[in-house]
């Protein structure tokens, strides 16, 4: 009996060693993703394989983020890095240039199959004024593009494919899992798109005000109408002349709703809207308050749509 127990133990030990060796031999690549919405889609693609790491956590904005030593360590430890591109993550430019050549860096804005909206005028940090409504897939300089591409679910479908293709090339042993997860994620995104369209398109005649021109992909996809954008430069407070212009627009367009972003406070605008009795909702295009995970993108889009609809329907 004791001999049988010893033999059983040895067989289990051998199996565990083989399993460990197999796991080590097929380890998934270490993936780092810059912002929460793209991280969520990446998690959905990597479900059952590994968990990608998120670079920006908490209520921070990539527009003015400063890298920390711990961020640099994450970058140099990663084998696949997923970013939107320089118009959004300026803080990554220098670090990405110093990475080894075998690191796969995805710059989503470089993909010309995405719906990409061009900024009308561009300042030194890649932000500009109100853009043309035309799609522009032939812009070579991504600094001239609106970076908030994930706010159109059709773009999210393409982003899912881009990331999945990169992972398959980097990790062919898990190709079947990535392909399955890609198809499942795209099906969910298609259902989400129909759901949001039914809720938002009927509200296209209602004008509103936004603090920062970050929602154009969502607005144009669902036929919404922002009458005015408070600022085209995140973090820069509007001057007295701009406040007078906004006050005039609020009266002339009969605006009753305005939407702010939690990362971009503006006390002067808050006071102006209170005086004008304009209802203010908070729209966080990054979903920084959501728990990271494969569901976060879907929660983000439903939350944005719900906040917009609830405000506009109370007119």
pLDDT (tens digit, 9 = 90+) per residue, 61-77? Answer: 887 788 999 999 999 99
| Cα 44 from Cα 265, distance rounded (Å) | 32
Tell whether 162 is covered by a domain.
yes
Residue 265 has a pLDDT of 63
Tell whether 21 is covered by a domain.
no
How many separate domains does the chain show?
Answer: 2
Q: Are 186 and 160 in contact (CB under 8 A)?
A: yes
Considering 197, 212, 247, which residue would you say is the last residue of a domain?
197
**Residue 150 and residue 210 in one domain:** no
Tell whether 285 is covered by a domain.
yes
Six-digit token pair at 280?
Answer: 């203010």
Considering 169, 197, 225, which residue would you say is the last residue of a domain?
197
Considering 146, 167, 197, which residue would you say is the last residue of a domain?
197
Judge if pTM exceeds 0.85.
no
| Cα 253 from Cα 261, distance rounded (Å) | 22
Tell whether 68 is covered by a domain.
yes
**Residue 98 and residue 148 in one domain:** yes
Residue 232 has a pLDDT of 62
**Residue 55 and residue 193 in one domain:** yes
**Residue 70 and residue 178 in one domain:** yes
| Packed helices 296-312 and 36-45: angle between N→C axes, nearest 10 degrees | 130
Residue 128 has a pLDDT of 36
**Residue 171 and residue 207 in one domain:** no
Contacts of 148 (CB under 8 A, 6+ apart): 88, 214, 215, 216, 217, 285
Contacts of 218 (CB under 8 A, 6+ apart): 151, 152, 224, 304
**Residue 82 and residue 177 in one domain:** yes
Tell whether 215 is covered by a domain.
yes
| Cα 269 from Cα 238, distance rounded (Å) | 8
Q: What does DSSP assign to residue 144?
A: G
Owning domain of residue 189? 28-111+119-197
**Residue 217 and residue 250 in one domain:** yes
**Residue 107 and residue 61 in one domain:** yes
**Residue 142 and residue 207 in one domain:** no
**Residue 218 and residue 154 in one domain:** no
**Residue 87 and residue 233 in one domain:** no
Tell whether 228 is covered by a domain.
yes
pLDDT digits (tens, 9 = 90+) for 215-265: 999 999 999 988 777 766 655 667 778 888 888 888 888 888 888 887 666
Residue 75 has a pLDDT of 94
Tell whether 11 is covered by a domain.
no
Residue 46 buriedness (CB in 10 A; 0-12 / 13-18 / 19+):
buried
pLDDT per residue of the chain (315 residues) written in tens, 0 to 9: 454 544 444 344 444 443 343 344 468 999 999 999 999 999 999 999 999 999 999 888 887 788 999 999 999 999 999 999 988 998 998 899 888 889 999 999 999 999 999 874 433 333 333 334 445 544 556 678 999 999 999 999 999 999 999 999 999 999 999 999 999 999 999 999 999 999 999 999 998 888 877 899 999 999 998 877 776 665 566 777 888 888 888 888 888 888 888 766 667 777 777 877 888 888 999 999 999 999 999 999 999 999 999 999 875
**Residue 179 and residue 40 in one domain:** yes
Six-digit token pair at 39?
Answer: 């991280």
Residue 227 sits in a domain whose CATH number is 3.40.50.1980
Tell whether 1 is covered by a domain.
no
């Amino acid at each position: 009996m004791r001999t049988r127990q010893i033999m059983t133990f040895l067989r289990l030990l051998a199996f565990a060693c083989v399993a460990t060796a197999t796991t080590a031999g097929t380890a998934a690549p270490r993936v780092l993703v810059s912002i929460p919405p793209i991280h969520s889609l990446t998690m959905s693609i990597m479900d059952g394989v590994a968990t990608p790491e998120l670079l920006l956590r908490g209520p921070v904005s990539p527009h003015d983020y400063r890298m920390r030593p711990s961020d640099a360590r994450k970058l140099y430890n990663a084998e696949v890095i997923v970013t939107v591109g320089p118009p959004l993550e300026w803080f990554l430019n220098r670090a990405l240039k110093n990475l080894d050549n075998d690191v796969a860096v995805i710059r989503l804005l470089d993909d010309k199959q995405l719906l990409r909206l061009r900024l009308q005028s561009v300042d030194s940090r890649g932000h500009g004024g109100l853009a043309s409504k035309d799609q522009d897939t032939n812009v070579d300089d991504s600094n001239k593009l609106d970076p908030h591409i994930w706010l159109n679910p059709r773009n999210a479908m393409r982003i899912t494919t881009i990331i999945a293709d990169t992972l398959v090339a980097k990790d062919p042993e898990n190709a079947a899992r990535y392909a399955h997860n890609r198809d499942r994620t795209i099906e969910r995104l298609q259902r989400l798109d129909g759901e949001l369209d039914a809720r938002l398109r009927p509200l296209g005649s209602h004008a509103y005000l936004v603090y920062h021109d970050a929602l154009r992909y969502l607005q144009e996809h669902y036929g919404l109408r922002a009458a005015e954008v408070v600022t085209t430069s995140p973090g820069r407070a509007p001057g007295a002349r701009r406040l007078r212009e906004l006050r005039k627009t609020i009266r002339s367009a009969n605006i009753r709703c305005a939407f702010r972003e939690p990362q971009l406070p503006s006390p002067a605008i808050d006071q102006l809207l209170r005086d004008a009795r304009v209802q203010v909702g908070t729209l966080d295009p990054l979903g920084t308050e959501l728990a990271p995970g494969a569901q976060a993108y879907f929660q983000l889009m439903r939350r944005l749509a719900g906040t917009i609809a609830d405000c506009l329907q109370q007119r």
